Amino acid sequence: MLLTFLFVIIGLFGLLIFNLVNETLNFKYTIDNQLEFTINNGDSFIGILPKLEEYNLIKNAFLTRAFISTGLIETKDIKPGKYILPTSGSIKDLVEIFSKGTKPLSIRVTIPEGLTITETAKILNKAFLEKSENNIEIKFSEEEFVSIAQKKWREILDEEFKSKLKQLLPSENYSLEGLLFPDTYEFFLSSDAKQVVTYMVNNFFKRIESIDELSFNPNVKNLYEAIVLGSIIEKESSKLDKKENISSVFYNRMKIGMPLQADSTINYITGKKDPGVLTRDTFIDSPYNTYKYTGLPIGPICSPGIESIKAAIYPSNTPYYFFFHDAKGQGYFSVTYAEHQQKLAKYM
């Protein structure tokens, strides 16, 4: 009886040891957010084991050290630096990450002014794919980014963040077009589409704070309408323009009930890249058609930069109702249509 009891105890102890060894060797960590982990000069993998256990990145530092010593776990020389760790991984993954150094763990990408949601998604996707050879799982999806920015944002973004968007947008049915702020970004390689959308829109809210005082009027009644007009100014202006002058033309037209007649809004409907438009396209029935309908279109046609948004809020005081650009981007402004036609004949 006693012998049987001893065998049972030994068996249970053996099973416990087996499970502990198995859990230590095959442990995979999972964390909610990306973690910054610092390795100092002179650190070894064995030396950082207590810190790895503290952050729940390994199961047991003591056993892991024993397994490294016996060769059950292979390690490499690790490189000092600040690492942004992915949200899940194994000890083998940590060995690979720490031995390669910190450089491949993030991407730097510039989103220029004047892009739509889909155009922004393509640039981001290309930037992430260029780093996909680094044995780090790329979670970013171009399709998911577009889906979130166009519709799914109201379902999956955090409540506090959604509350800010609901205060800005006319309704929850609106997309985030115009709010993916153009800037140079650095994203973790493990970022997913939700994190990228959130970061870009949050950057928009931060950058808007640089506008000291917001002044609205019957033509541009709130911040969202300023973004709508700012997006048109972004697409209609050249690098040579004072954007406030472009803004003044649209303000002057709105004051007298004249359609904005912005070619860029027609191109937003058709998807054409040519700055000019076909006459037949100006008859398309769309709330973005500023030839057919007066006032601002229903939403932004791109993501404007801060200068275009400022110009939409603070236009110049000019008498102009017409403008165009020559091949070099030089703008020509006119008060009357006859004057406009004369300049077109002379400079185009």
Q: Which residues of the chain have pLDDT under 50?
A: 2-3, 5-8, 10-15, 18, 104
pLDDT of 295:
95
pLDDT of 180:
97
pLDDT of 162:
83
Question: Taking the complete model, does pTM exceed 0.85, yes or no?
Answer: no
pLDDT of 13:
46
pLDDT of 75:
76
pLDDT of 178:
97
pLDDT of 212:
67
* Three-class DSSP labels, the chain: CHHHHHHHHHHHHHHHHHHHHHHHHCCEEECCCCEEEEECCCCCCCCCHHHHHHCCCCCCHHHHHHHHHHCCCCCCCCCCEEEEECCEEEHHHHHHHHHHCCHHHEEEEECCCCECHHHHHHHHHHHHHCCHHHCCCCCCCHHHHHHHHHHHHHHHCCHHHHHHHHHHCCCCCCCCCCCCCCCEEEEECCCCHHHHHHHHHHHHHHHHCCCCCCCCCCCCCCHHHHHHHHHHHHHHCCCCCCHHHHHHHHHHHHHCCCCCCCHHHHHHHHCCCCCCCCHHHHHCCCCCCCCCCCCCCCCCCCECCHHHHHHHHCCCCCCCCEEEECCCCCEEEECCHHHHHHHHHHHC
pLDDT of 133:
57
pLDDT of 298:
96
pLDDT of 286:
96
pLDDT of 1:
53
Kindly report, residue by residue over 47-77, the tens digit of the pLDDT: 888 998 898 888 888 888 887 887 777 778 8
pLDDT of 3:
47
pLDDT of 14:
46
pLDDT of 20:
61
> Which domains, and CATH codes, for the chain?
24-101 (3.30.1490), 105-208 (no CATH), 223-347 (no CATH)
